[in-house]
Structures are given as structure tokens and as C-alpha cells.
Structure 1
Amino acid sequence: MAKPQIYDVLHREHEEVSELFHQLEEAKGAEALELFARLKQKLVPHSRAEEAVVYPRLLEESNTADTTREGIEEHKQVDKLLAELDAMTPDNEVWQAKIKVLADMVGHHVDEEEGELFPRAKQVVSDQEAEQLVDEYARERDSFVEDIRLEQRDAAE
């Protein structure tokens, strides 16, 4: 069986985030808060690890640099919206609207990554390198996941 490439891992995580958005759009109250926390635990480490491992490599290539820069800017906008949502509860009248906007932003970002960036990256990143990026990405992502867990634990104490 072929070793997964970075594109496979990112695609799987994109699908997991999409499923959480679908659940979150219907959720209310405590369930919405719990799903939002799970969404952040998936989305934030994913973005940070992309920025630390995948994007630097793609910034080196002329056919992927512009789309990569756009992806970085989209991550910043997602972070702002996550912070706004963190500052409110699901009973706020704009909560659901902000969740919808966030889902749309992330959906657009995923479509561009998978529809434009990944095909271009495959032209310049060897299969072997795309496989090696999986391990680097997973280490970074898992490190960010652990950081979030520690922050949540400290906040609860």
C-alpha cells in the first residue's frame, strides 16, 4: 500500500472539519459550544501546521507562491472570526450568522487548496517529498493540539 501524501492527510482533515460545521450549523446551547470547541481543536492545529510545514515549501515555487500567500491571509481571517466567536455564546443573536460565515470562509479556502494549490504543488513537489511532509506536518499539528489542551486545562483550573 502506498504511503499517504500530505494532500491525502489534509483532505481527510478538511472532511472532518466540514462534518463538524454541518453539525454545528444545527446545534444550540451547550451542544453548540462543545462542537465549536471540537472545531477549534481540529481547525487551529491544522492551520498552524500548514503554515509551519506545508506553506513554506510552497512559497518557494513560482506556481504555488501566490495561492499560498492567499491561503495564509485566509487563515488570518478565520482566526479573527474564531476570536469573535470565542467572545460570545450561542445564544448571541449573531452567533449562527458568524458560524455560517466561518463555514463559508473555510469552505472557500478548502476549495482553493484542493482545486488549485494541491494540483500545482504536485507539479513541483516530488511524491517522496509529499510523503515526508506527512510526518513533519503530523508532528507540528500534534504539538499544537497539545498546546491547546494545556491552555484549556489551565483555563479550567
Structure 2
Amino acid sequence: MGHGGDVIDELTRDHEEVEELFTNIEELPSGDPMRKRYADQATMELVRHAVAEEEYLYPAVREHIVGGDALADKELNDHTAAERTMKDLESCEADDPRFDVLMSKLMTEIRAHVLDEEDNLFPRLRNACSAEQLERLGEKVRQAKRTAPTRPHPAAPDRPPANKLLDRGAGLVDRLRDAMSGRGRS
């Protein structure tokens, strides 16, 4: 969940971890209960990652990159679509006929989003910010992920300050639910 380094290194490692979970899902046969466990873990990681980006990365994009408002808005729209898919997936077991369709949709959405961030947003941010700014953002992102929600909340605000206020409470409730249900444990 926290790797160290600047914001781009931190978020890129998150992308790699989620891709590994997606690969694990793809390697298992349809209906295998482990697919649901991997999907839950991917959702937990994706939600924490998205919350951290919404709290710190996208405000920095708006501030430091020319045309950053449009870029951040596009990324936020990607998050909203993926959160809706994750919310639908949350109620499916691996043997549910909708599971494979929703999982495929989520993988497509996330892979396109990751490609866009890594090929477009991250290089532009690296050019626009100092190494020190990127390091500070990395630490803020790691802190945000520690208290972020672990379940999708597609109707929740995605911009400061409302998201910062509500995410902490939702994160606490989500982590309690996860502990009681065993969700996210291998």
C-alpha cells in the first residue's frame, strides 16, 4: 500500500500491483472463488489509489500543468466510471454470470486509465514540478492511502475539500466492515 519515492513512482507501483491482481484473475477458470478474492483485493487497492489521486494528484495537475483542469476532469470521469463498475462487481460472487462481464469491463477501464496516466499525465507532471514537489506529493499520497476507503462510493465527492472530509469517515467504516467480514484477507 505504501512504497516510497515520489508520487509518480508510488502510483506506478500501485498500477503494477493491480495489474498483477488482474493477471491472477485472468489465469483462473471462470467461477473459481479465488477470482472474487482477487477482485475484492483489486477493488480495495483501486479505491485507495483513486482517493489519494483525487485528494492530491489531480489538484497538483490543475495547479502545475497547462490545461490541467481538463486533464484532471477526464481522469476524474474515468474514476467515476470505474467506481460504478466496482460497485456493481461488489455484489457478485465469482459464479454469478455478471461477474466475468463486470470484471472484464473493469480491467478494460483501468488499463486504459493507467495507460493514459503513465503515457500522458505523469510525464507532464514530472516536467512541471520539481523533484521536491513530487516527493512531497508522494508522501501525501501514501498518507491518504492509509486512511482511505476500501470500498467504492461512486456518489461521494471527488474534489477537495469535501472529499478529504468524507473519505476519512468512509475509510474507517470500510475497514471495520472488512475486518468483520474477512474481506481482503488472503
Q: How does 1:129-144 map to 2 (within 5 A)?
A: 129-144=133-148
Please identify which structure carries the higher helix content.
Answer: 1
Greater CA drift, 117-126 or 147-156: 147-156
Aligned length: 154
Greater CA drift, 14-23 or 140-149: 140-149
Cα pair 1:25 1:99 within 8 Å, conserved: no
Greater CA drift, 68-77 or 23-32: 23-32
Q: Partner amino acid for 2:114?
A: V
Q: How does 1:1-157 map to 2 (within 5 A)?
A: 4-27=5-28, 28-60=31-63, 61-144=65-148, 147=172, 148-154=174-180
- Post-superposition shift, 1:126? 1.3
Structure 2 Cα separation of the partners of residues 154 and 55 of structure 1 = 33
Cα pair 2:8 2:122 within 8 Å, conserved: yes
1:46-93 residue CA offsets vs partner (Å, 9 max, x unmatched): 000110111111112323332221110100000000011112221122
Greater CA drift, 53-62 or 143-152: 143-152
Q: Partner amino acid for 1:124?
A: A
- Post-superposition shift, 1:119? 1.1
User: How high is the TM-score relative to the length of structure 2?
Assistant: 0.76
1:106-142 residue CA offsets vs partner (Å, 9 max, x unmatched): 0000000010001111222111100111111100001
- Please list every run of 5 or more consecutive structure 2 residues that lacks an aligned counterpart in the other structure: 151-170
User: How high is the TM-score relative to the length of structure 1?
Assistant: 0.90
Cα pair 1:25 1:100 within 8 Å, conserved: no
